[in-house]
Chain A
Amino acid sequence: NAGVTQTPKFRVLKTGQSMTLLCAQDMNHEYMYWYRQDPGMGLRLIHYSVGEGTTAKGEVPDGYNVSRLKKQNFLLGLESAAPSQTSVYFCASSYGWGSASYNEQFFGPGTRLTVL
């Protein structure tokens, strides 16, 4: 199993450009998440999905959109990139969530995005 994969690994954008980050998981997980990590900080949740066709806002959703058209894929879009979105983006997935579920979130290797 590849686990959680992210495409691309690196990207440089100019202010105002758009792009889509792709996350794929082959573990048949229901839940998927997008986080951003800034230098010297922990991860912050951008958006998440509890199943195919569903999305929900996390802690820092402004400036981002997401889609979960297929269970194995979770896309993160930046419609008009800004320098404040320079960060490392991590995708994660989990089997489920809850007190009776197996909750471990598996993370991808990250995408390093620079917005000039």
Chain B
Amino acid sequence: GESVGLHLPTLSVQEGDNSIINCAYSNSASDYFIWYKQESGKGPQFIIDIRSNMDKRQGQRVTVLLNKTVKHLSLQIAATQPGDSAVYFCAETSYNQGGKLIFGQGTELSVKP
């Protein structure tokens, strides 16, 4: 995962703009990736996942892109809304790891009205 630190990377966007949150994962053997959203004071909430045999997956207003060559994952949020303000985490794992997720540091998304 990403380097450990006390200061989260932050992304500030205007309401209605598209947001792109990036994540570098560490293990080339990982074959399953998940994005989580964590609002202040709450537990993480599943957004979208992608398997390593795919390079793109779309959900409702969200798209995840996977580039295995450079071990990079991104989350795109279309028409960002104030309710999207949260910390976003990517997580990596392998199907043979029994659900053991490795989380990245997280990115704080702030949406300006």
Q: Is the CB of B105 within 8 A of A42?
A: yes
Q: A101 — nearest CB in chain B belongs to which residue?
A: B95
Query: How many CB-defined contacts (below 8 Å) exist between A and B?
Result: 72
Q: Which residues of B contact A79 (CB under 8 A)?
A: none
Residue B29 at the A interface, CB < 8 A?
no
Chain B residues contacting A56 (CB-CB under 8 Å) are 98
B interface secondary structure, majority: loop
Within A88-112, the residues touching B (CB, 8 Å) are 90, 92, 94, 97-99, 103-110
The 9 closest A-B pairs by CB, nearest first: A42-B103, A107-B43, A40-B6, A97-B99, A99-B95, A43-B103, A104-B46, A107-B44, A31-B99
14 A-B pairs, CB-CB below 8 angstroms? A31-B98, A31-B99, A41-B4, A41-B6, A42-B89, A43-B44, A45-B101, A50-B98, A56-B98, A99-B32, A104-B46, A108-B43, A109-B41, A109-B43
Residues of B within 8 A of A (CB): 1-2, 4-8, 32, 34, 41-46, 49, 51, 89, 91, 95, 98-106
Known A42-B1, A45-B102, A59-B100; 19 more pairs at CB < 8 Å: A31-B98, A39-B6, A41-B105, A42-B89, A42-B91, A42-B103, A43-B89, A43-B101, A43-B103, A45-B101, A48-B100, A58-B100, A90-B43, A97-B95, A98-B95, A103-B49, A105-B101, A110-B41, A110-B43
